[in-house]
């Protein structure tokens, strides 16, 4: 049960974006459409999972003084790998995410999990933690992306939602930057009201 708890707490209870308010930069910047948001979420999950696993694996032989540079090296290696693969196999998504793919390196969510959890726990627990936090991040981004794309562009995954008339005159505001701030504020307020605090 403890393992199950490690996995699930990143999903909702300690959701990086909506509860802990970290990793906000990509959450605000690339949640304009569902596809971009989901792609970003998957990329971050990949990096989070593998960097957590590797860091947990070598945690006993990493000298305390140089742990941060080592973590960053490992994280940036995985970011570069996902960057190359996305360029090769998902060029459209790669162009849409732009600079936010390389910026995963400095996402405090990932270094945060490495420092706070993976460097002190077993490989399996670190893997579950990385997966949980990553999926939670993906969920939050996908929810934001869906709302913003439906309201702001009148489409969902590129398909027309709410009919042609709405697609022609959507709430443009939602797809622009201020819409992202407004939405995350509303989501945060809803969560504060309905999700019980421990």
Q: Which CB, 77 or 160, lies closer to other proteins? A: 77
Question: In angstroms, what is the minimal distance from the CB of 82 to other proteins?
Answer: 10
Mark residues 67-86: x for contact with other proteins by CB under 8 A, - for none.
--xx--xx-xx--xx--xx-
How far is residue 105's CA from residue 101's CA, in Å, rounded to a whole number?
8
Return the sign of the alpha-carbon dihedral for residues 108, 50, 91, 153: negative
Mark residues 175-194: x for contact with other proteins by CB under 8 A, - for none.
xx------------------
The DSSP line for 63-129 is: -GGGHHHHHHHHHHHHHHHHHHHHHHH-HHHHHHHGGGTGGGGG-HHHHHHHHHTGGGS-HHHHHHH
How far is residue 187's CA from residue 96's CA, in Å, rounded to a whole number?
24
Residue 43 binds to other proteins (criterion: CB under 8 A): no
154 phi and psi angles, rounded to 5 deg: 70, 15
Beta bridge partners of 155: 160
Question: In angstroms, what is the minimal distance from the CB of 92 to other proteins?
Answer: 6
Stretch that binds other proteins, among 16-24, 127-135, 156-164, 171-179 (CB under 8 A): 171-179
Using CB under 8 A, which residues numbered 83 to 122 contact other proteins? Answer: 84-85, 87-89, 91-93, 95-96
Question: In angstroms, what is the minimal distance from the CB of 81 to other proteins?
Answer: 5
Residues that bind other proteins (CB under 8 A): 32, 58, 61-66, 69-70, 73-74, 76-77, 80-81, 84-85, 87-89, 91-93, 95-96, 152-153, 170, 172, 175-176
């Amino acid at each position: 049960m403890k393992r199950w708890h490690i996995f699930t707490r990143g999903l909702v209870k300690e959701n990086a974006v909506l509860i802990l308010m970290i990793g906000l930069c990509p959450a605000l910047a690339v949640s304009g459409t569902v596809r971009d948001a989901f792609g970003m979420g998957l990329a971050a999950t990949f990096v989070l999972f593998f960097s957590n696993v590797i860091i947990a694996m070598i945690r006993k032989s990493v000298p305390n003084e140089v742990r941060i540079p080592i973590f960053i090296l490992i994280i940036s290696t995985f970011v570069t790998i996902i960057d190359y693969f996305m360029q090769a196999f998902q060029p459209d998504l790669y162009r849409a995410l732009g600079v936010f793919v390389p910026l995963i390196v400095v996402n405090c969510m990932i270094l945060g999990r490495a420092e706070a959890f993976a460097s002190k726990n077993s490989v399996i627990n670190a893997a579950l933690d990385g997966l949980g936090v990553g999926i939670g991040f993906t969920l939050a981004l996908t929810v934001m992306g869906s709302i913003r794309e439906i309201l702001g562009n009148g489409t969902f995954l590129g398909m027309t939602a709410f009919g042609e008339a709405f697609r022609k005159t959507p709430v443009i505001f939602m797809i622009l930057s201020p819409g992202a701030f407004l939405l995350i504020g509303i989501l945060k307020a809803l969560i504060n009201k309905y999700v019980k605090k421990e």
